[in-house]
Structure 1
Amino acid sequence: MRTFTAVVNPAAGNRRRTAAGRVRHVVQRLREAGAAVRVETTRSLQHSDEIASAAVARGDVVLAVGGDGTVGRLAGTVVRTGGVLGILPAGRGNDFARQLGLPTDPDAIAKLLLRESEPQLVDVIETAGTIVVGSIYTGIDAIANRHFNRVRPLGAAGYHYSAGRALLTWRMATYHVTVDGTEHNARGYTVVLANSGFYGDGRHAAPDARVDDGLLDIVILRDVSRWGFVSIAMKELYSGAHLKRPEVEVLRGREVRVEADRELPYGGDGELLSTLPVTARVLPGALRVLAS
């Protein structure tokens, strides 16, 4: 019987009461099945690292309760300490959980966590010592992320507001993207380094991305009209139809460096990380996660 430490991010999600109820339900089901479960609420990023490290040392599964930022942060600790990660989606986007095909029903989540099967080995991205499970993105996406951080309580509506706000002041950037030593230049809106195919609350930026192929899908959106960008951001990204556009280029590789002609932020797993340039590489099968 597995043992668990549930690490709860109290700031995750825009429906905290609903999330709290789901956590209680899953924990109750685990305990009814005989599993030992500790529930810890984080006070800071460093505190979450400490909780997760102690959990791994005890032999517990680290159960990430939150959104993509929480999952990514705890995944980094689990990768470094050799532990196992479980995920209870309780954030706004939950895009990595979506990529893994994880259930949202509390009973189904509990059954998955209790299932006596080997953890799935999945890839992660490493950049400057930081682990990212979903994707790294720059350009207009990262600027929209900056705006979204100020309107998080709006939930899904906040994504649309933030994209529109970023578009109003956007001017095209020239990117220098080096993939496994081969250079590519592009003038446009954004570059996404995708381990997982989803980001931004269900947008399917990289439909062919896989978390177990040892590769990153690099999606480049070149110069397109503003109305074209609106169509891509609000509609085509959800279905994957943007890949039919000639302005969208997809590359694949193991190590990627992105530079730009001006200072631009970049983010990962829904959180702003730093400013360009960024060098990222895939760590194949580095994360053990309960996903099947």
Structure 2
Amino acid sequence: MTALPMAAPLHIVFNLGAGHGSAELVEQAITQACASAGRAVHLLRVDDPRRLGDIARQAVQAAVADGGVVVAAGGDGTINTVAQATLGSGCAFGVLPQGTFNYFSRTHGIPAEPDAAMQVLLTEQAHPVQVGLVNGQVFLVNASLGLYPVLLEDREAWKRQLGRSRLVAFGAGLLTLLRGHRSLRLDIDVQGSRRTLRTPTLFIGNNALQMEQLGVPQAQAIDAGALAVVALQPVGRLDLLGLVLRGALGRLGDADQVTHFGCQRLTVLPPWRWGRRRVKVATDGEVQRMRLPLEFSVSPTDLQLIRPAAPAPERQDP
């Protein structure tokens, strides 16, 4: 635990496009809570997602200068970007969850309601939290390649048309699966041991709550300081849908067509026919292209997250 000065200013990176609620109501909750606590707050509003990274870095620079706290107000993608800028800066990190799933905040017992989340920020201390890395890029919830990044891109396209909800996300994912997807042949190195996987998607988890809800036993590996690796074996569309159903029911780890294990470091090596080309990689719901090899690892530096001392993460509805 890191003791914070009770007067430490809050530098809040507020993604106006995240979540379902009113940005005005969230901003009102922020200003009222800080005024009641006599706490200085600097609100950095983001109305263009392309500026999120730059604004996050500005917030970190300001927090380093005045001994403040960097806060991400948004969904898992926003939290990821602000965490990337904060990691290694020495600043404490806070979260005001505004997304659809909010896996990171739920895991660490941070409430979804703005008023309650502000009380956590204003009254609790910072605790070390594990961070995953892929080629230097932070992931707090998961990273993946293959089918899952494609599913995320399709989901975002549907959300732009129909709005953000879990029902839209599920429907978009179902349509993506019905279209089918070719399997990848991946040469991987797991902490010095080489193996080959054929899989439609490689999923690296860093969130125990998500792994528990899928029914993957490597949730315990994450709690012990490792990453959870999940790979589906090549299957037909109907079998793939069956695996998705198993995941929804919390029984994915029981399926014979699923490989899962824990590790602290995994490298996806570039086959000769791929060279050093770039592949799509999703990190906490955001898709980008990265050059092979892909180095997945646990960061040697923790994120200093302001959260309840004994968080009671939600374990029910995914």
d(CA) in 2 for partners of 1:109, 1:284: 28
Question: Pick from 206, 219, 223: which aligns with 1:209?
Answer: 219
C-alpha spacing 1:230/1:259, structure 2 compared with 1 (3 Å): farther
C-alpha spacing 1:239/1:26, structure 2 compared with 1 (3 Å): farther
| Pairing 1:1-292 to 2, within 5 Å after superposition | 1=6, 2-13=8-19, 15-17=20-22, 19-42=23-46, 43=48, 44=51, 45-117=53-125, 119-153=126-160, 154-155=163-164, 156-167=166-177, 168-197=179-208, 204=214, 206=216, 208-209=218-219, 213-233=224-244, 235-259=245-269, 264-275=279-290, 277-284=293-300, 286-292=302-308
Displacement of 1:145 after TM fit?
Answer: 1.4
Displacement of 1:280 after TM fit?
Answer: 1.5
Structure 1 unaligned blocks of 5 or more: none
C-alpha spacing 1:225/1:101, structure 2 compared with 1 (3 Å): farther
With normalisation by structure 1, the TM-score equals 0.87
Displacement of 1:104 after TM fit?
Answer: 1.4
Displacement of 1:101 after TM fit?
Answer: 2.5
Q: Could you tell me whether the CA contact under 8 Å between 2:145 and 2:202 is conserved in 1? A: yes
C-alpha spacing 1:208/1:128, structure 2 compared with 1 (3 Å): closer
d(CA) in 1 for partners of 2:280, 2:269: 11
d(CA) in 2 for partners of 1:36, 1:55: 12
C-alpha spacing 1:138/1:279, structure 2 compared with 1 (3 Å): same
Q: Per-residue CA shift, 1:100-130, capped at 9, x if unaligned?
A: 232112332122112243x110111222332
Displacement of 1:173 after TM fit?
Answer: 2.0
Identity, % of aligned positions? 25
d(CA) in 1 for partners of 2:215, 2:148: 11
Q: Could you tell me whether the CA contact under 8 Å between 1:214 and 1:284 is conserved in 2? A: no
Structure 2 unaligned blocks of 5 or more: 1-5, 309-318
User: Aligned letter for 2:127?
Assistant: Q
d(CA) in 2 for partners of 1:204, 1:98: 15
Q: Which deviates more, 78-87 or 44-53?
A: 44-53
Displacement of 1:199 after TM fit?
Answer: 5.8
What is the Cα-based RMSD across aligned positions, in Å? Answer: 2.6
d(CA) in 2 for partners of 1:258, 1:159: 28
Q: Per-residue CA shift, 1:150-206, capped at 9, x if unaligned?
A: 223332233223323432041222222321111232222211111113569x96475
Q: Which deviates more, 281-290 or 270-279?
A: 270-279
Displacement of 1:291 after TM fit?
Answer: 1.6
Q: Could you tell me whether the CA contact under 8 Å between 1:179 and 1:252 is conserved in 2? A: no
User: Aligned letter for 2:34?
Assistant: L
Q: Could you tell me whether the CA contact under 8 Å between 2:214 and 2:253 is conserved in 1? A: no
Provide the secondary structure at the position in 1 that maps to 2:204: strand
Displacement of 1:29 after TM fit?
Answer: 1.7
User: Aligned letter for 1:93?
Assistant: F
User: Aligned letter for 2:159?
Assistant: R
After superposing on structure 2, the runs of 4+ consecutive aligned residues of structure 1 that deviate more than 6 Å are 260-263
Q: Could you tell me whether the CA contact under 8 Å between 1:23 and 1:65 is conserved in 2? A: no
Q: Could you tell me whether the CA contact under 8 Å between 1:212 and 1:284 is conserved in 2? A: no
Q: Could you tell me whether the CA contact under 8 Å between 1:195 and 1:217 is conserved in 2? A: yes
C-alpha spacing 1:205/1:256, structure 2 compared with 1 (3 Å): farther
